[in-house]
Chains A and B, each alone.
Chain A
Amino acid sequence: MDNDPVLWCKDLRKRFKERLAVDGVGFEVAPGETYGLLGPNGAGKTTTISMICGLLRRDGGEVTVAGASLDRDPGQVKAAIGYVPQDVALYPDLSGLENLRFWGRMYGLAGRDLAERVEATLEVVGLTERAGDRVADYSGGMQRRLNIAAGMLHRPRLLVLDEPTAGVDPQSRNAILANVEALGGEGIAVLYTTHYMEEAERLCDRVGIIDQGRLVAEGTRRELVARVGERDRIELAATGDLAGLAAVAARVDGVDEASVVGGGVHLVARDGRRLLPRLLEAAEHSGAEVTSVELVEPDLEAVFLHLTGKALRD
């Protein structure tokens, strides 16, 4: 197993009449890596993955999956991808078992191999007990889980999930996220689109921020935060000499601002988590007693706001 990216795409472009839906998007996803495409609705996420999956003709750009070019060997590329559409794409009048068998066969599985993988996948998504029931009788969350199961059944090199938790209850969402987290451990590359910041932060090793068809930034969460210059906020609740505490804290290297706010001191710092031990040590000599500490790190929502000037859910 080499470390070549499972997915490599470059300069993807797509125009719908006058609207440029995707404009020069490119990124890589390594084996076992979960890559998140984070952006608001209409940013170009689904269009991008539709081109990667060969469902939409590109106006420009290249896609390679598991070493195969989408232009030269689309069949091999599609066979290497497991696609989980945004909406539940299953046959409601067939059972969960029949759905998985059908989709498994569509990806070339047969016989004992098919039976074993169907059984194992049902186990993973927790639907073994309900496998014989019609999908129409499943709850929304169960349908979502089966939707994902159908995409991962053939053990693809790259699993593409297009907003798989949209409209799902919290319990099912947790189950889905746990399933996706487990995929990285199996060496499957995951491309995950979402407009939920917390999902991207929880699941994704790297995140690409997409807005108006352009990839405006890419990296780990910390890299993105650092890149946009967003800083942590540390809130020290304390008693005693609060002004003295603020003065001492301001002298700690890495602290940019310190001010007394109500019954405590608020600090603005870079890499606050690393600074905490030194801050608490300094506070002991300030004449104040720190009663609690809260570290507020900038999130991807803040990064997105900084980069695009608008909120993710706009």
Chain B
Amino acid sequence: MLRTALLVAGKDLRQRLRDRSALVIAFVAPFVLASIIGLAFGGDFAFKATYAVADADREPVAAGFTDGVLASPGLRDLVTVRQVDAAEARALVDRGDADAAFLLPAGFSASVQRGGAATITVLESGENPIAGQVARSLAEAYAAELAATQLAVRTALAQRGQPATAAEARELGERAAAGRLPVQLTEGQVGGRTIEAANYFGPSMAIFFLFFTVSFGARSVLAERRQGTMRRLLASAASPSGVLAGKALAAFVLGTSSVLVMWLATTLVFGADWGDPVAVVALTISSVLSAIGITALVVTLARSEEQAEGFSSLVVFTLALLGGNFVYLAQLPETLQRVSLLTPNGWALRGFVDLVADGGGLATVAVPVAVTLAVGLATGGLALYRARRMVAA
């Protein structure tokens, strides 16, 4: 069986290497597409924004927002703040020189101290919707914290029976500014580190094209049946298991090579860092196995090569869309991030991102490796069962 598997694998690889379209899919397309998408995202995924702040109040509660929230450790490296008046803030946003503007009206602090309503107006440029969304979230979060703090302070003052002093008002602003912000930007996803485009879309495109690269292995079973070579193989004492093992081996070698070449290319050309090499190899192997298992199972459900190709494309694109191969997962709503974990693509990407972000080793990717491996073994086992019947038929 081993000899059969090696001979069939060698023959399949020879056929693949002679097929220019296969080489493009395995080695060229992932790199080109990753480069294009990476450039489109401006080189990295670090959140950057310029905000104009028009503080007409200049009192402690307003300062709590400008000095406390916008200058907080989580934001100060990501946000450039320009203190201007309201007219200039509008002009900056209109010209696109600022992604958003916060307008804090005069009497803002006094109103808060009285327990009344206070308004922060947020102007968005529309050129950077994420920055605008973040600006809105920051203002809403600060307002929510103020409301909660107002309630606590009002309760305390009511017991004392006196109005708040200036020091107490300042404390009110500081306490609000110290409140936990709901917007964590990229920190929550990448362990506090920004992730460069090449580090994300390198693995991402490698995984996407990996499915196309390895699907030839399963489809070639149908091709061998069509061209009569399967009968000839089986007439030569080759067992169905040996033939299928050979095809899986060829797909594995080509798929693994495809990802590793992508790793090398993005490292050399873009200076990408995929993380710990041992962990990268482990994650690559488990991802390749899951891709082989899934594409093989899909192909065994088809009755012809054309049908198999159609099924494969449908499944591969669906998994890629859900798994986050085309968009940065951390920029998706949380629900979609959860959905991505229903796919092996999503788990593999999570593993690669964690490797970059956390700088860990095998332990960091243990779960993604385990999940993708389990998917590969489950779908591959089912595919093998069906393929043996298909080959022997």
| Interface residues of A, Cβ cutoff 8 Å to B | 53-55, 74-75, 78-79, 81, 83, 85-94, 98, 102-103, 105-107, 150
Contact = CB atoms under 8 A, between A and B. Distances in A.
A102 B15 contact: no
B7 A106 contact: yes
Given A94-B14, A94-B15, A105-B7, A89 B237 contact: no
Q: How large is the interface on B (under 10, 10 to 19, 20 to 34, 35 or more residues)?
A: 10 to 19
A-B pairs with the 6 shortest C-beta distances? A89-B228, A78-B237, A83-B235, A106-B236, A89-B232, A75-B237
Contacts, number: 57
Interface string B196-238: 0000000000000000000000000000000111011111111
Interface in B7-64: 7, 11, 14-15, 18-19
B4 interface: yes
Nearest to A151: B232
Of listed A78, A91, A94, residue having the most chain B CB within 10 A: A91
Contacts of A87: 227-228
Contact of A91 (B7, B15, B234, B237): B15
B236 A89 contact: no
Given A92-B227, A106-B4, A85 B237 contact: no
Contacts of A78: 235-237
Contacts of B7: 102, 105-106
Given A89-B229, A90-B229, A106-B4, A74 B15 contact: no
Nearest to B227: A89
B15 A103 contact: no
Which DSSP category, helix, strand, loop or mixed, fits chain B's interface?
helix
A116 B4 CA distance: 22
Given A79-B237, A102-B11, A106-B7, A85 B232 contact: yes
A93 B19 CA distance: 8
Contacts of B235: 53-55, 78, 81, 83
A78 B232 CA distance: 11
A90 B227 CA distance: 7
A91 B11 CA distance: 10
A228 B297 CA distance: 56
Given A89-B228, A94-B11, 12 more contacts: A54-B234, A55-B235, A78-B235, A79-B237, A83-B236, A89-B227, A91-B11, A91-B227, A92-B227, A94-B14, A98-B14, A106-B233
Interface string B314-336: 00000000000000000000000
Nearest to B229: A89
B228 A150 contact: no
A177 B234 CA distance: 26
B228 A85 contact: yes
Nearest to B19: A93
Contact of A103 (B14, B227, B231, B232): B232
A106 B11 CA distance: 11
Contacts of B227: 87-92
Contacts of A105: 7
28 contacts: A54-B234, A55-B235, A74-B237, A75-B237, A78-B237, A81-B235, A83-B232, A85-B228, A85-B231, A85-B232, A87-B227, A87-B228, A88-B228, A89-B227, A89-B229, A91-B11, A91-B15, A91-B227, A91-B229, A93-B15, A94-B11, A94-B14, A102-B11, A103-B232, A106-B7, A106-B236, A107-B236, A150-B232
A81 B233 CA distance: 12
Given A103-B236, A106-B236, A55 B228 contact: no
A76 to B, nearest CB: 9
Contacts of A88: 227-228
A55 B238 CA distance: 11
A86 B231 CA distance: 11
Of listed A53, A86, A89, residue having the most chain B CB within 10 A: A89
Contacts of B229: 89-91
Contacts of A103: 232, 236
Contacts of A79: 237
Contact of B231 (A75, A89, A98): A89
Of listed B4, B19, B227, residue having the most chain A CB within 10 A: B227
Contacts of A74: 237
Contacts of B233: 106
A98 B235 CA distance: 19
B190 to A, nearest CB: 45
Of listed A74, A88, A103, residue having the most chain B CB within 10 A: A103
Contacts of B238: 106
A105 B233 CA distance: 11
A143 to B, nearest CB: 11
Interface in B230-259: 231-238
Contacts of B15: 91, 93-94
B374 to A, nearest CB: 34
Contacts of A90: 227, 229
A107 B11 CA distance: 15
Contacts of B4: 106
A33 B234 CA distance: 25
A105 B237 CA distance: 12
A74 B234 CA distance: 11
A220 to B, nearest CB: 29
Nearest to B238: A106
Contacts of B237: 74-75, 78-79
Nearest to B233: A106
A86 B262 CA distance: 44
A220 B237 CA distance: 33
A55 B231 contact: yes
A93 B18 contact: yes
